[in-house]
Amino acid sequence: MARRKKPSRISRRDFLKAAAVSLAAPAGLAAANTASASQPNGPALSPDSGSRAPTIVPSRVLGRPAPSDTLALGCIGVGRQGQGDMQEAIYRGLETGARVVAVCDVDSHRVEDAQWLVDKIYAEEAGGKPSGCAAYRDFRELLARKDIDGVLIVTPDHWHAFVALAAAEARKDIYLEKPLTYSIAEGRKLVAAVRRSKIVLQTGSQQRSQEYFRLACELVRNQAIGTLFSMRVTLPPDQGAGDPRPQPVPRNLDYDFWLGPAALAPFCEDRTHPQRSYERPGWLQIEAYCRGMITGWGSHMNDIAQWGNGTDLSGPVEVEATGEFPDRGLFDVHQAFKAECVYANGVRLFQETGEPAGVRFEGDRGWIFASREELRASDPALLKVQVSAGGVRLYRSTNHMKDFLEAMRSRKDPAAPVEVGHRSNSVCIITHIAMKLRRRLKWDPAAEQFVGDEEANRWLDYPHRAPWTV
């Protein structure tokens, strides 16, 4: 299997240019958040900045808290998604009084790039004064710092639980990228740890902070489409093939640490992440580290389905699924799939591979479809229904990272707290289990167990390689 020719390693100048692509000016952001235009399918609601690259807001327009009141943040995992979340934390922190003071990654090139970028941004904001951002290869050293108030955890999925549990034990507030954990057993342990430590945890399900999705769910919860009877989730497909041929481990990568709780496996670049770019990493398509699009995008769209159905602290009671697992070399996650979940209230959730990615709510008086690009309905008038005085009002956030930082101060639950993140992820995981077993399963959302099915229940967790047990 021929490998693509890799470009030379990205320079820091090129990296900064790439990171700055599509950054909106402050005036443009304000317009996007307030503008409304007429469209054939109803009023246009501009997506909030939670779905975009960070918006650079000059410090001169911000009212900053006193330095002594600044929250200190550490970033654990600063690869493709981690760099984006880190920058969002930097810029939203300038608005709310938070500062990135440390970065960590098992790849020394990436941690050096992140440290350089943090120092560069803060130097520009402070008129050339360096920020002194610290760099670590071991997240435990970062968590041991008493001055750090919160952490962003943006590691491969199989690492989420262990790092987040360690952060909870250290009493650090947490922004944890979705999916919350790799397994349901891990998720339940994390919920308990967060509650025990009384910390704030925001799941990185940023669609909770986007207006299209919030309005769709609020309209559905207030029966703008009548009685809800079904929801249809579409998820994009994975593509390509992975080269499994072993390669020498790069000197900049602590590969054994990268594997962590997963089983030992030969190194190859397609198993981890590109060494010369920040392109999409191969681990996203390897089941030992990620379950594929069912959790990658499913944790976003099924989260919205749960929200609209009013079951975001529970889940379905039955699930059936089929999936295709073609030979793609190293990549072994599902391709096209179809699934059906049934809730105790009779609502059915249909999931399948398709475009555009989004959620369609269907009721006896019409339907509403929400995606990151649009909100439309069977009748445009449905999108203009006003919620009555005693109606359901859903949590409103206009920026997911800012919501997390504000929750760190208020000590209140953010837009996507740990239980919500766990339950939305559980829908994805039980769908994946049904996909693998290829039969209908009965699920007890209260006990978080399959009913009378020992084989299925064995899939609720996986063997963790020592010493990374949870």
Among residues 207, 224, 258, the one where a domain terminates is: 207
Same domain, 60 and 83: yes
Which pLDDT score is estimated for 191?
98
The low-confidence residues of the chain, meaning pLDDT below 50, are 1-13, 15-63
Same domain, 329 and 296: yes
Same domain, 225 and 364: yes
Contacts of 327 (CB under 8 A, 6+ apart): none
Which pLDDT score is estimated for 447?
98
Report how far residue 321's alpha carbon sits from residue 294's, in angstroms, rounded to the nearest whole number.
11
Which pLDDT score is estimated for 131?
75
Is residue 326 in a domain? yes
Same domain, 193 and 220: no
Is residue 412 in a domain? no
Which pLDDT score is estimated for 55?
39
Same domain, 36 and 115: yes
Same domain, 202 and 218: no
Helix (H, G, I), strand (E, B) or coil at 237: coil
Same domain, 117 and 27: yes
Same domain, 166 and 196: yes
Helix (H, G, I), strand (E, B) or coil at 311: coil
Read off the CATH number of the domain in which 181 is found.
3.40.50.720
Helix (H, G, I), strand (E, B) or coil at 267: coil
Same domain, 202 and 213: no
Among residues 207, 231, 262, the one where a domain terminates is: 207
Is residue 272 in a domain? no
Which pLDDT score is estimated for 125?
86
Which pLDDT score is estimated for 126?
74
Q: How many domains does the chain have?
A: 2
List Cα–Cα distances, 103 to 31, 136, 326, in angstroms.
Answer: 33, 6, 38
Rounded to whole angstroms, the maximal C-alpha distance in the chain is 65
Same domain, 122 and 226: no
Is residue 409 in a domain? no
Contacts of 83 (CB under 8 A, 6+ apart): 19, 113, 114, 117, 278
| Cα-trace Rg, the chain | 22
Q: What is the DSSP string of 129-160?
A: -----EEES-HHHHHT-TT--EEEE---GGGH
List Cα–Cα distances, 404 to 62, 162, 173, 202, 415, in angstroms.
Answer: 18, 21, 9, 6, 8
> Which residue range is the domain that position 339 belongs to?
208-239+291-386+418-460
Model-wide pTM > 0.95: no
Is residue 1 in a domain? no
Same domain, 173 and 110: yes
Pairing mode of beta strands 173-176, 201-203: parallel
Which pLDDT score is estimated for 65?
53
Same domain, 154 and 225: no
